[in-house]
Amino acid sequence: MRVIAGIAKGRRLIGPEGSGTRPMTDRAREALFSSLGDTVVGTDVLDLYAGSGSIGLEALSRGAATVVFVERDKAALRALRRNIEHVGLGGAVVATDVERYLHGSHAMVDLAFVDPPYALSLPSVQSVLRKLIPRLNAGAGIVVHRRAGSESPVVDGLELADRRRYGDTVLWRFRKETA
Is residue 176's pLDDT more than 90?
A: yes
Residues 143-165 have pLDDT tens digits of 999 998 899 999 999 999 999 99
Confidence of residue 17 (pLDDT cuts 50, 70, 90): confident
40 DSSP assignment:
G
Residues 33-61 have pLDDT tens digits of 999 999 999 999 999 999 999 999 999 99
The Cβ of residue 92 has, within 10 Å, a number of other Cβ atoms equal to 12
Distance CA 100, CA 29 (A): 27
Residue 56 lies in a domain: yes
Number of domains present in the structure of the chain: 1
Residue 114 lies in a domain: yes
- Which residues are paired to 95 by β-bridges? 71
Confidence of residue 18 (pLDDT cuts 50, 70, 90): low
Confidence of residue 20 (pLDDT cuts 50, 70, 90): low
Residue 151 lies in a domain: yes
pLDDT higher for 8 or 26?
A: 8
pLDDT higher for 21 or 78?
A: 78
Residue 53 lies in a domain: yes
State the average pLDDT for the chain. Answer: 92
CB-side neighbour CA atoms (13 Å) of 3: 23
Residue 132 lies in a domain: yes
| pLDDT on residue 19 | 53
Residue 13 lies in a domain: no
Residue 15 lies in a domain: no
Cα→Cα distances 89→10, 55, 85, Å: 14, 13, 8
Mean pLDDT value across residues 102-131: 94
Domain of 41: which CATH number?
Answer: 3.40.50.150
| pLDDT on residue 24 | 80
Cα→Cα distances 110→7, 123, 135, Å: 21, 24, 9
Residue 8 lies in a domain: no
Is residue 25's pLDDT more than 90?
A: no
Q: Answer whether 24's CB lies under 8 Å from 169's CB.
A: yes
- Per DSSP, helices labelled H in the chain are 26-36, 54-61, 74-87, 98-104, 122-132
Indicate the burial class of 131 (C-beta count within 10 angstroms; 0-12, 13-18, 19 or more).
Answer: middle
Q: Which domain range does residue 48 map to?
A: 26-176
Mean pLDDT value across residues 6-12: 93
Report pTM: 0.93
